[in-house]
Amino acid sequence: MEKSSIVRPVILISFVIGISLLHYLTPLHLPYLHAIFQRLYYLPIILAALWYGLRGGLLCSLIISVAYAPHLLFQWGGHVTMEMEKYLEIILYNIVGGMTGLLSQRERERTVELQKTARGLEESYQKLQHQSERIISIEEQLRRAEKLSTLGEMAAVLAHEIRNPLGSIRGTAEILKDDYKPGDPKHEFIEIQIKETERLNRVVEDFLHMARPQPADMRPCPVQEELEMIVALVANDARERQVKLILQPPPFRVIIQADGEKLRQAFLNIIINALQATPPGEGVIISTTVHQATICEIRLRDTGPGIDAATLERIFEPFFTTKHDGTGLGLAISRKIIESHSGTLTLESESGQGTTVIIRLPINDPTSGGTP
């Protein structure tokens, strides 16, 4: 911009000075050359009008009139009647400068108005696009809410049918527990059975509250220890499937504010899905990192067949499943649990490339974000 503001005046001044010198230095007995030179004055006039509008065109034509007038008065002074058109040329200079400058200025103003209109249309388009995205998002939320409502009704029926057998299983396990002393392997297995029965009973209760989110019992929660507990729980299943379950330790102990029980439920759903998707001889890798001391990121990567784009778009819908014996609730429940912790649950996958589940949870308490 600064370069053009300097170059343009230099070009105009050079034109005016150059043409004027040609007039003054060319002998009068070559009138055809003077006729050419006086037409050349239109070039700087038109350029000034195009570049600077009405004021530029008029100013340039006046400067040229002043520069050309002495040539007429002193060199052509004795031929006034014969060269009257040369005096009329000065009037034409000013008329051309004014008209061209006026048209150029109006065109420039119109261009500015069109640009403003274009920007206004672009802003309106962006607003409409944003509103359209919001409408689509709201429709998606309504569909999810409808499915969750159906899930709540189903859960009410299932809760009645499942709770009684669970109570019997737990009672039987507690009777068997008395026959084995602490330290006996069977005593430990029965304790696990009782704990899992209690957890399953709470899962049934969670089904009842799927459509009515309940406040979480937020406490300091060591992420790695929770993951180790789930890995130990599914270790036997992994051995039977001949799948390696690799839990990579974080560089330091990571503690977040969370409801450990619900978090374990989400981890368990995701790890079981990863084990089921991974072929024998392959592995599932679980890693934990911390970003900027505010976000705990947990990645669970399997080497299964992956998920195509169409399925990936619907993967979190309740009751949507690609398994013959699946319910389509595992990921939906897991996502709801993570979101209740103000976190996010996303999937990255391509057909034939495996799947990576990414869980991001906020570290709300700066003093519990982890210790080296």
The answer to whether position 133 is within a domain reads: no
Nearest-angstrom CA–CA distance, 6 and 13: 11
Does residue 108 contact residue 76 with C-beta atoms inside 8 Å? no
294: domain CATH number is: 3.30.565.10
> For the segment 178-235, what is each residue's pLDDT rounded down to a tens digit?
777 777 778 788 888 888 888 777 777 666 555 455 566 788 999 999 999 899 889 9
Question: Based on the domain organization, do 201 and 230 belong to the same domain?
Answer: no
Rounded mean pLDDT of 36-63? 85
Domain limit, last residue, from 97, 123, 149:
123
The per-residue pLDDT for 370 is: 45
> For the segment 124-138, what is each residue's pLDDT rounded down to a tens digit?
888 888 888 887 877
The answer to whether position 167 is within a domain reads: yes
Domain limit, last residue, from 150, 178, 208:
208
The answer to whether position 20 is within a domain reads: yes
Mean pLDDT of the chain: 81
The answer to whether position 134 is within a domain reads: no
Question: Based on the domain organization, do 236 and 255 belong to the same domain?
Answer: yes
The per-residue pLDDT for 338 is: 92
Placement of tokens 């008329």 in the chain: 95
Domain housing 334: 219-368
Rounded mean pLDDT of 289-317? 90
Domain limit, last residue, from 95, 123, 151:
123
Question: Based on the domain organization, do 193 and 241 belong to the same domain?
Answer: no
Question: Based on the domain organization, do 51 and 77 belong to the same domain?
Answer: yes
The answer to whether position 152 is within a domain reads: yes
Nearest-angstrom CA–CA distance, 253 and 362: 15
The answer to whether position 13 is within a domain reads: yes
The answer to whether position 11 is within a domain reads: yes
Question: Based on the domain organization, do 345 and 322 belong to the same domain?
Answer: yes
Count of domains observed in the chain: 3
The answer to whether position 288 is within a domain reads: yes
The per-residue pLDDT for 224 is: 93
